[in-house]
Amino acid sequence: MSPTASITAPPSPTLTREQIEAVIASLQPVQRIMIRLLLLPFMTPSSDDIFFMARERTEPAMRSGGNIATAFGGNTAIRREKINGVPKDWIDSVGNRALLYQSQLRENLGRLNLLAAFFQDYLAGLQPELDSMEQLLATECEMGQESLDDLRAQARLAPLTYALKKLAARADKQEVEDEDYRRERLSLEYQAHLRRRDRFKKRLDQARVERQAVLLTSLSDEFLAEVWGLAVGPIRNRRVKSIQAYLSALATALHASPDQASMTAAVNAGIGPKLSGGSLNEGFSSKPVDLCGDLWSLTVQALAAELMAPVASKPCSHPGGEMKSLTVKLRDLATYGLGEDEEVKIWAQTLQCPNCVTTLRTAQQKSGLLDRQADVVLAQVKTRTAMPRKETPAEVLAKPKDAPEETGIALEERLRPWLGDDAGETGGRGSQTWW
């Protein structure tokens, strides 16, 4: 990069973790620690950092030892244990809080990374199914372009559950011809898939927006003050100065000479959208946030681009999380087999739960759905939507015991995964028995 290059120039391919860490290490202790805390999902404060913060504690309760006496049941031996004049439990407390917030931030970022990857692959795997359905509707069912357009136009509001149930009942009584059955079944599955595509496109967009917002957000001053054990005022002051110092040092290291506007943009990016009174729990707007080319954003992007170590899995903390039926539903959801009505019931908690999101992603990757060739997808869709045959007693006897589980399951239940969100109309019988 030339000495006159703007600080907002396209991302520098040479900005690496090594460079970033070297620049941070060159800062004064307070600034070094602050930058590491601001980049906490990607950086761990050193033991020197922890010691420095513990020594600075100004909380009156901690100074007087009140908390310690309570926390350790008045055990003076522990209370007096000091490292270079700083009570050991102060050091532990600072270190534990930093690690606690780090693990929370990493868990959230990891969840969003997994979700975005899951949605992307979900949509990628859905497309060949949609293509196959369109092809079969046009060829096997001789459906014209206009009828296909109608199906698409009506997909959003079509009462799929009701229609599928009616179709199942007719098939059961042999009141429908093979060709009619296939056409109707394909039409309904096609519409259910179109609705899936719409839902998951929106979810992918939302996950990307949220991930960007998370990347651009550091711990708020209140959280930083809690880790450091200082008041919010000095923390805010240190935050701004540290970001300025880091950016100047980085610009020097990169031989860039930022103009005032670029520097301001970078400082603002470092301070983040919620400088004062901000809370991690505020939620994010649905407005897309662009990661810019300023040096702070480039720093975050360079660090976020590294492969994150998987976060240790914790069990679900929401109601029903320990039930095996939830795992089954998540697996079906990942493989396009969970009805919209069932999906709606579990979605809100699934989205927020790192464990559920991990289960979804794992099920997707194990399913092999993404590796299917187009002709395989076509054959599978064709088989699935063929008129069901009632087995003669001889066929039932001839079937090996470990035959696919379709045997004995009512047709309506086999259609369950394809039902829409209007299950209420049909009493939702399957939802009690299918799983």
Q: Which residues form the interface with Zn ion (CB under 5 A)?
A: 316, 321, 353, 355-356
Q: Are 316 and 355 within 8 A, CB to CB?
A: yes
- Of the pair 321, 428, the CB lying nearest Zn ion is at 321
| CA angle (14, 17, 23) in 5-degree steps | 90
Cα 29 from Cα 258, distance rounded (Å)? 24
For residues 43 and 35, give the distance between their C-alpha atoms in angstroms, rounded to a whole number: 9
Q: Which amino acid is at 113?
A: N
Residue-wise burial string across 1-24, b where 16 or more C-beta atoms lie within 10 A, e elsewhere: eeeebebbbeebeebeeebbeebb
Q: Shortest distance, CB of residue 336 to Zn ion, whole angstroms?
A: 20
Residue 197 CB, nearest distance to Zn ion (Å)? 25
Q: Taking the complex as a whole, how short is the minimal distance between the CB of residue 108 and Zn ion, in angstroms?
A: 14
Cβ-based nearer residue to Zn ion, 132 or 355: 355
Q: Kindly tell me which of 193 and 329 has the beta carbon lying closer to Zn ion.
A: 329
Phi, psi at residue 433, to the nearest 5°?
A: -115, -25
Give the separation between CA 125 and CA 376, rounded to whole angstroms.
13
Q: State the DSSP code for 19.
A: H
- Of 182 and 203, nearer to Zn ion (C-beta) is 203
Tell me the closest approach of the beta carbon of residue 348 to Zn ion, in angstroms. 11
Q: Are 49 and 230 in contact (CB under 8 A)?
A: no
Quick one: 186 or 356, whose CB is closer to Zn ion? Answer: 356
Whole-number Å distance between alpha carbons of 119 and 141: 31
Phi, psi of 82 (to 5 degrees): -125, 150
Token pair in block for residue 77: 């031996």
CB of 323 to Zn ion, least distance (A): 10
> Which residue, 251 or 356, is less far from Zn ion as judged by CB?
356
Find the shortest distance in angstroms from Cβ 321 to Zn ion. Answer: 4
Least distance (Å) from Zn ion to the CB of residue 330? 8
Shortest distance in whole angstroms from residue 318 CB to Zn ion: 6
CB of 286 to Zn ion, least distance (A): 24
Contact (Cβ atoms closer than 8 angstroms) between residue 216 and residue 291:
yes
Residue 355 CB, nearest distance to Zn ion (Å)?
Answer: 4
**What is the H or E stretch that residue 87 is in?**
strand 86-87
Are 122 and 193 within 8 A, CB to CB?
Answer: no
Nearer CB in complex with Zn ion: 207/353? 353
CB of 313 to Zn ion, least distance (A): 10
Looking at beta carbons only, is 234 or 321 nearer to Zn ion? 321
Residue with smaller CB distance to Zn ion, 74 or 320: 320
Residue with tokens 């967009």: 205
Helices (H), 173-294: 178-215, 221-228, 232-253, 260-271
Min CB(106)–Zn ion separation in Å: 18
- According to DSSP, the residues that pair with 83 across neighbouring strands are 86
Q: What angle do CA 96, 210, 39 make, to 5 degrees?
A: 35
Residue 321 vs 388, nearer CB to Zn ion: 321
- Cα 150 to Cα 155, 190, 191: the distances in Å are 8, 12, 10
Q: Which is nearer to Zn ion, 232 or 328 (CB)?
A: 328
- 159/321 with CB nearer Zn ion: 321
- Residue 83, φ and ψ in degrees, nearest 5: -120, 115
9 closest CA partner among 289, 265, 303, 267: 265
In eight-state DSSP terms, residue 56 is T
